[in-house]
Structure 1
Amino acid sequence: MAEKKPGLVKSALINWLGIPIQLTSSEFWQEWFGTSKSGKSVSAQSAMQLSTVWACVRLVSETVPSLPLKLYRRLPDGSRELARNHELFRVLCQSPNKEMTPFRFMLMLVASLCLRHNAFVEKVRVGRKIVSLVPLLPQCVTVKRLDSGALEYTFSEPGKQPRKIAEDDMMHIRGFGLDGVCGSDPLKYGRDVLGSAMAADEAAGAVFANGMQTSGVLTHEAGTLKPGQREELRKSLNTFAGSKNAGKLMVLEAGLKYQGISMDPEAAQMLETRRFNVEEICRWFKVPPYMVGHTDKQSSWASSVEGMNLLFLVHSLAPMLENIEQEIQRCLLGAANDEYYAEFSVEGLLRADSAGRAQFYIHALQNGWMSRNDVRRLENLPPVPGGDVLTVQSNLIPLDQLGKVPADGARARAALMSWLGQDDNHEKAAKAA
């Protein structure tokens, strides 16, 4: 049993700290004794207990999977088609592994990127064919640069022996980082901000748990109370402490006088600090505060749901989507393969705005870069006969053609007059008369 204890201790440390470290590393002792200025220890588990962190991570990690990821093939004429016959189409778009749907698979990757700025996916092969993609917990993966220049990944799963994973068998998606090897841990750099928010939440909870609603001081004209009297008074006051005892009537004895002392939470900056912490945390996760329910003193650049979604898409999601697409190209399809590529359909983010979506379709149909069947496919409607024809508005003519009858129009007019049994001479004579 003694030989197994170090392994159990190491597994427990990995789970508790969130990153694989050793007892000889300074990070271990810093984590135990608190590294934030507020004295709070910050890990992934403790950070997720903050409502703002929970809302930010959940918002981003649930929004990205809602944008369909498709595998396309470029055609010689510049268009594209779904690459249904490609061996990776099923793995990327239908079933990444036997336990996960594409939504759950992408949700885990994005959540790892939000909390760790690293996401690791192991490629499972049969021969040379990739048959499955298995996401790994980023806190259990370490990256090492070998003397050859290649990267070696070690996966230390709790309760099991660590195993090496070759660089060719790993898809490593990196978030923002400074060394190019791994993404920088946002919990490490934002430790003071998150620790301050934890301390403010703890202080607020202590106020409601221990604060006496009829707060004030008791004065006694006789001077100092005896120890027994003081203890009895303390027990009596405990019956009025806490939020569940709010509003009870306090009875004073032995000449005691009550003098209330009002402590305004606004004056103590408790509420203001908690509001500011919400904005601070949102900065770390690149999430607009109004998207996590923080609307106090909110000035929005956009005046519609479509505009807000577009703002969130451009500044928050677009870099992450581009990063994931390029890593799929590099690690799965091959950087030199320009025939196939993966892409997120960001139009799904604007699906909730029916007015904006309708206006988008109108412009597409009137300018001839989408057909009616293209629109129906986006709306999950079956195609209609003749719906693949591209149409444009015919009322736009060059300025030098104003007032002139086009040649096609003249021929059509002549044919109509002939059908009516008239010609231009008859018409001229009628006008002269």
Structure 2
Amino acid sequence: MSLLSFLGRTLTLRNAYNERGQNFWSLFGGFESWTGKAVTPDSVMQIATALACIRLTATTVSTLPVHVYRESPDGSRQRIPDHPMAVVLRQSPNADQTPAEFLEGMVACTMLFGNAFALKTKTAGQVRALTILRPDLMTVRRDPNTYALIYEYADPRGRETYTAEDVWHLKAFSLGGDLGLSAVQYGRQAFGLALATDEAAARTFANGIKPGGFFISQKPLDAPQREQARKALVEPMQGAENTGRVGILEGNFTWQSVTMPLKDAELLASRGLHIQEICRLMGNIPSVLIGHTGEGVTAWGSGIESLIRAWLTTGLGPLLGRIEQSATRALLAPADRGKVWCEFARDGLLQADSEARGKLYASAAQNGWRTRNEIRALENLPPVDGGDVLTAQSNLLPLDKLGTLVGAAQRDPATSEEDIRQ
């Protein structure tokens, strides 16, 4: 890249950041935190807790099936597997990504930047492909004359301007503005503290878990003696590989420690606290889902199941609804709006819980809101004869009528339970 191109791109990005209410320093250094650590999306991804939260949410959303429905005249809904929106979201969003990879990227960008963008490729008014655009290279503003949204995208290849009809803009939680709020920006104090404590712990182990301090000499040293002391005393005692090494102090040297021991500083405990903070920032994710349990807490049992259900209700559920509404609004042709919509198959969240899945299917079959073949289709099983009839469990029959209904139905399928009662 030439110098002029670099300067042009820098000024473009500077304007983009300034229009978002961020200062020029954040372009190169990230968001400033009280700890002095620069917080950027890249540095946040280096925090194990943040990476685990983003990966868990993105992969969970990306593995749920997406269905497209149309409302029938009788008020029911009908699946449309060959609708262009269904093809894009379920089969092939673009030439380079699978549907899971595409949704993972959109969700991850939303969690990190507060916004995710995808360029729409249309044919005859229908969206046929979606290509993810980097949020850090996107500027969102409004035309001063028409007040219409304008999306300006600047990358090393040049600068492009798009309208709202050209871009699918998925926003995170916001205050009603044109952009979603970034968890990295508004949670930078918690992330900065996590980065600082991680660095402090790493440097402590790099020094062999030995406290810092001074070698004190009984008399002043000249320059050659200082260099000799550094090579003989300081360098051989540093590093985790030298832990436990025995040293010899010559020339009236003594050792004076100047830092608190690791236990007194409670460094490890403070590192554990930022796990809970980051889990809250990333969508109320129970820490047990990313492999962290508190003292005396097990990763199994009914209590953990309740935490998982709470996350599915208060954390993942609202995110799925946000994606459904945004996709329905942005990816449909004008003629389909208000008649067609997309939904995630939330039943997929029960795939790992065979007991809950069995209870749901039993309720569906016994109460007549799903047929046996519909249930078998959810389990990837072939249909069976007679499985397309809605059935309901009969209750409160007179004792002298027990078994009569089954016998009568076998003789005459048109016989109803009311006929048997009479």
TM-score tier by shorter-chain length is: 0.7 to 0.9
User: For 2:403 and 2:5, how far apart are their aligned partners in 1?
Assistant: 88
Task: State the partner residue of 1:47.
Answer: 44
Secondary structure, counterpart of 2:151 in structure 1: strand
User: For 2:178 and 2:78, how far apart are their aligned partners in 1?
Assistant: 34
* Greater Cα shift, 368-377 or 73-82: 73-82
Aligned AA (1:188): Q
Secondary structure, counterpart of 2:132 in structure 1: strand
Task: State the partner residue of 2:124.
Answer: 127
2:152 to 154, 160, 174: 154
Instruction: Give 1:159 deviation, angstroms.
Output: 1.6
User: For 1:380 and 1:268, how far apart are their aligned partners in 2?
Assistant: 56
Q: Aligned in 2, Cα 1:85/1:31: closer, same or farther, shift over 3 Å?
A: closer
Instruction: Report matched runs for 1:240-255 at 5 Å.
Output: 240-253=237-250
Secondary structure, counterpart of 1:72 in structure 2: strand
Matched, 1:309 2:304: no
User: For 1:275 and 1:9, how far apart are their aligned partners in 2?
Assistant: 43
Matched, 1:191 2:193: no
Q: Deviations over 1:187-208 (max 9, x none)?
A: 2211222112111111112112
Matched, 1:323 2:322: yes
Secondary structure, counterpart of 1:103 in structure 2: helix
Identity %: 36
Aligned AA (1:21): Y
Q: Aligned in 2, Cα 1:306/1:367: closer, same or farther, shift over 3 Å?
A: farther
User: Where in structure 2 are there 5+ consecutive unaligned residues?
Assistant: 412-422
Instruction: Give 1:292 deviation, angstroms.
Output: 1.7
User: For 2:153 and 2:256, how far apart are their aligned partners in 1?
Assistant: 64
Q: Aligned in 2, Cα 1:12/1:353: closer, same or farther, shift over 3 Å?
A: farther
User: Where in structure 1 are there 5+ consecutive unaligned residues?
Assistant: 416-433
Decide whether the 8 Å contact of 2:126 with 2:332 is kept in 1: no
Task: State the partner residue of 2:414.
Answer: none
Instruction: Give 1:143 deviation, angstroms.
Output: 1.0
Task: State the partner residue of 1:296.
Answer: 294
Instruction: Give 1:168 deviation, angstroms.
Output: 1.6
Task: State the partner residue of 1:431.
Answer: none
Decide whether the 8 Å contact of 1:31 with 1:42 is kept in 2: no
Instruction: Report matched runs for 1:33-432 at 5 Å.
Output: 35-146=32-143, 147-156=145-154, 158-211=155-208, 213=210, 223-224=218-219, 226-227=221-222, 231-237=227-233, 238-253=235-250, 263-286=260-283, 287-297=285-295, 303=302, 306-333=305-332, 337-394=337-394, 396-397=395-396, 405=401
User: For 1:334 and 1:84, how far apart are their aligned partners in 2?
Assistant: 16
Aligned AA (2:184): L
User: For 1:214 and 1:321, how far apart are their aligned partners in 2?
Assistant: 49
Decide whether the 8 Å contact of 2:49 with 2:275 is kept in 1: yes
Decide whether the 8 Å contact of 1:36 with 1:195 is kept in 2: yes
Q: Aligned in 2, Cα 1:214/1:407: closer, same or farther, shift over 3 Å?
A: closer
Instruction: Give 1:305 deviation, angstroms.
Output: 6.1
Q: Aligned in 2, Cα 1:381/1:248: closer, same or farther, shift over 3 Å?
A: same
Aligned AA (1:198): L
User: For 2:304 and 2:376, how far apart are their aligned partners in 1?
Assistant: 23
Decide whether the 8 Å contact of 1:40 with 1:198 is kept in 2: yes
**Larger-Rg structure:** 1
Q: Aligned in 2, Cα 1:210/1:369: closer, same or farther, shift over 3 Å?
A: same
Q: Aligned in 2, Cα 1:260/1:329: closer, same or farther, shift over 3 Å?
A: closer
Secondary structure, counterpart of 1:342 in structure 2: strand
Aligned AA (1:224): K
User: For 2:86 and 2:16, how far apart are their aligned partners in 1?
Assistant: 34
Instruction: Give 1:28 deviation, angstroms.
Output: 1.3
Aligned AA (1:324): I
User: For 2:88 and 2:385, how far apart are their aligned partners in 1?
Assistant: 34
* Greater Cα shift, 228-237 or 255-264: 255-264
User: For 1:251 and 1:333, how far apart are their aligned partners in 2?
Assistant: 77
Task: State the partner residue of 1:420.
Answer: none
Decide whether the 8 Å contact of 1:329 with 1:342 is kept in 2: yes
Aligned AA (1:84): P
Q: Aligned in 2, Cα 1:305/1:362: closer, same or farther, shift over 3 Å?
A: farther
Q: Deviations over 1:257-312 (max 9, x none)?
A: 67889943231131122111111111111122222222124599971665443222
User: For 2:41 and 2:28, how far apart are their aligned partners in 1?
Assistant: 14
Question: What is the TM-score of this pair, normalised by structure 2?
Answer: 0.83
Secondary structure, counterpart of 1:320 in structure 2: helix
Instruction: Give 1:94 deviation, angstroms.
Output: 1.2
Secondary structure, counterpart of 1:100 in structure 2: coil
1:21 to 5, 17, 33: 17
Q: Aligned in 2, Cα 1:31/1:273: closer, same or farther, shift over 3 Å?
A: farther
Secondary structure, counterpart of 1:162 in structure 2: strand
Aligned AA (1:111): A
Decide whether the 8 Å contact of 2:324 with 2:343 is kept in 1: yes
Q: Aligned in 2, Cα 1:251/1:91: closer, same or farther, shift over 3 Å?
A: same
User: For 2:350 and 2:403, how far apart are their aligned partners in 1?
Assistant: 44
Aligned-CA RMSD value: 3.3
User: For 1:8 and 1:121, how far apart are their aligned partners in 2?
Assistant: 25
Aligned AA (2:68): L
User: For 2:303 and 2:86, how far apart are their aligned partners in 1?
Assistant: 36
Secondary structure, counterpart of 1:21 in structure 2: helix
User: For 1:351 and 1:187, how far apart are their aligned partners in 2?
Assistant: 32
Decide whether the 8 Å contact of 1:279 with 1:289 is kept in 2: yes
User: For 2:8 and 2:36, how far apart are their aligned partners in 1?
Assistant: 24
Aligned AA (2:170): I
User: For 1:125 and 1:313, how far apart are their aligned partners in 2?
Assistant: 34
Question: What is the TM-score of this pair, normalised by structure 1?
Answer: 0.81
Task: State the partner residue of 2:417.
Answer: none
